[in-house]
Chains A and B, each alone.
Chain A
Amino acid sequence: MNSNSKRSEKITNALKTGDDISRRNFAQKLLSIATLSSLAIASVPEAALAWLDGGFAQREDLADALKVLVKTYSDTRPYPHKFNDALVKMHLRNLDFAVRKGLWKERAEHYVWTLGVVVDRHIKKGIEMFGKEAFLWGNFERTSCSYQLYEHINIKEGERSFSCPFKPILDQIQKTIGTYKITWDDVHNKWCIPVWSGFANNVGVEIKVEPGEVCRVKVV
């Protein structure tokens, strides 16, 4: 059995059981990383564990993923749907309920507390080793919470920017069904900013957010 089929079998088993892939396999993968930058990332072992680890070609569940992608991008009425459509709508719906109930602050805190485990486990170490930039890295391009939400993340030293995914969908909802009470300002002030600031506070980093159609987050 060659190494690719072994890897494929491990991924398949993990898909079936939800188990993690072994440290030994991870160590093997690390050895194959050639570039200095990759080695630098890999030196934060747990942080590197879940990200772009080269398993794509061994996945056996790509057909379903591609079918959903084609279905999504074939769906152009009443507006062109994107891969993040349902996720954006879920966040907006949850925020609408939390705002109506006056619980938006507590809800944002709960989200930060829940995912703070990951931030504490990975990002803190990254900041100690690489500085504040690791916060932006960990909060944006490194996590599926962001790369499944933002269509495109622009990466600059000390800054990340991306098109706001919430504005077009909220506009569309207000235009067609009109049942939400939240405004776009609520999305910035009662969700995005408190959540990012909460994560930043956890690791002792200060950020500045410039909300807009292109939203910018900078470390200060």
Chain B
Amino acid sequence: MTQPERRNFFKQTIKWGGALTLFTVLNSPRVVWVAGPGNPLQTIKENTFLQRDDLADALKSLYMTYDSTSPYPHKFNDVISKGQLECLEFFISKGMDKEYVAHYIAVMAPVLQNIKQGVEKEGPEKSLYGLFEDTSAYQLFERIEEKPGERSFPCPYKRALENCKKWLPNRFTMEWKDVCNKWCIPTWQGFVKVIGVNIAVQPGEICIVKLA
């Protein structure tokens, strides 16, 4: 074993001592405490999902849905999509689709006014947030891609309408484009008119809604 030189010893002390200090700082309780949002002692208590005691029924419904794969693979948004299509078919057949859309916009007025206030405070992005992520409408879309000024999602109606036409023959005469042009687009355009922003909708298998 060689005796370390005074100069070498100094270098080693700086190197390893520095590394040790950095390691200690990174692992200090203070860093740990401030690593996550809020008080970590309250994390579980403040996690709304973990506080729910009705998850068992939700999971059972999910399991029953996704364990039913024929004649087509069922999804969580099956019934809402089909129910919406059935009702739209009825009111289109009565020539009342415009009134049907107008009713939806009218009953949503207080919610839309709240979104409008959010837009006035925080900008137009709030309108997309209010219409898509911040409403249980997210139960209709399998997933929502969020980009500044744009939301996109797989159309839930295309597949549902194909299944309805196949498995409920002669019950649906409307076409997919009717769903886009007589339901989704006029409804969203009606909503944003109240909110006070403009949007452009590109319907498709992946539907895109953009601030205009």
Contact B69 A107 (CB under 8 A): no
Q: How far is the CA of A47 from the CA of B137 in the complex (A)?
A: 31
A149 beta carbon closer than 8 Å to chain B? yes
- Give the interface segment out of A34-42, A91-99, A197-205: A91-99
**A9-43 interface mask toward B, CB cutoff 8 Å, 1 = contact, 0 = none?**
00100110011110001100000000000000000
B73 beta carbon closer than 8 Å to chain A? yes
Known: A18-B72, A53-B67. A117 touches B138 (CB 8 A): no
Interface centre among A19, A73, A83, A179 (most CB of B within 10 A): A83
Q: How far is the CA of A82 from the CA of B76 in the complex (A)?
A: 12
A69 beta carbon closer than 8 Å to chain B? yes
Contact A59 B69 (CB under 8 A): yes
Contact B67 A148 (CB under 8 A): no
B171 beta carbon closer than 8 Å to chain A? yes
| Contact of A179 (CB < 8 Å), options: B73, B86, B107, B139 | B107
Contacts of A86 in B (CB 8 A): 80, 136-140
Contact B111 A177 (CB under 8 A): yes
Known: A96-B103, A103-B94, A177-B110. A147 touches B67 (CB 8 A): no
Known: A69-B58, A87-B139, A89-B136. A55 touches B107 (CB 8 A): no
Q: How far is the CA of A18 from the CA of B63 in the complex (A)?
A: 20
A185 beta carbon closer than 8 Å to chain B? no
Contact A117 B110 (CB under 8 A): no
Least CB distance from A30 to B in Å reads 12
Q: How far is the CA of A132 from the CA of B46 in the complex (A)?
A: 48
Least CB distance from B45 to A in Å reads 13
Contact B70 A93 (CB under 8 A): no
Question: How many A-B contacts are there with CB distance less than 8 Å?
Answer: 197
Contact A91 B83 (CB under 8 A): yes
Contact B62 A82 (CB under 8 A): no
- Give the interface segment out of B23-31, B49-57, B123-131: B49-57
Contacts of B108 in A (CB 8 A): 177, 179
| Contact of A64 (CB < 8 Å), options: B73, B142, B169 | B142
Least CB distance from B111 to A in Å reads 6
Closest A residue to B64 by beta carbon equals A147
Q: How far is the CA of A162 from the CA of B208 in the complex (A)?
A: 39
B162 beta carbon closer than 8 Å to chain A? yes
Closest A residue to B83 by beta carbon equals A90
Closest A residue to B162 by beta carbon equals A18
Contact B104 A76 (CB under 8 A): no
Contacts of B167 in A (CB 8 A): 117-118
Contact A21 B142 (CB under 8 A): no
Contacts of A83 in B (CB 8 A): 58, 61-62, 76, 139
Q: How far is the CA of A147 from the CA of B74 in the complex (A)?
A: 12
A62 beta carbon closer than 8 Å to chain B? yes
User: Which range holds the interface residue count of chain A?
Assistant: 35 or more
Closest B residue to A59 by beta carbon equals B66
**B68-89 interface mask toward A, CB cutoff 8 Å, 1 = contact, 0 = none?**
1111111110111011101101
**A41-66 interface mask toward B, CB cutoff 8 Å, 1 = contact, 0 = none?**
00000000111111110110110111
Contacts of B51 in A (CB 8 A): 76
Q: How far is the CA of A94 from the CA of B87 in the complex (A)?
A: 7
Least CB distance from A220 to B in Å reads 28
B48 beta carbon closer than 8 Å to chain A? yes
A210 beta carbon closer than 8 Å to chain B? no
Which B positions have Cβ atoms within 8 angstroms of A? 47-49, 51-52, 54-55, 57-76, 78-80, 82-84, 86-87, 89-91, 94, 96, 99-100, 103-104, 106-111, 136-140, 142-143, 159, 162-163, 166-169, 171-172
What are 16 inter-chain pairs, A to B, with CB distance below 8 A? A14-B73, A21-B70, A49-B70, A65-B76, A72-B136, A76-B48, A83-B61, A86-B136, A87-B79, A94-B83, A103-B94, A107-B87, A115-B168, A117-B169, A148-B76, A177-B109
> Which 10 A/B pairs are nearest by Cβ-Cβ distance?
A55-B69, A86-B139, A56-B67, A20-B71, A21-B70, A179-B107, A177-B110, A74-B49, A85-B136, A148-B79
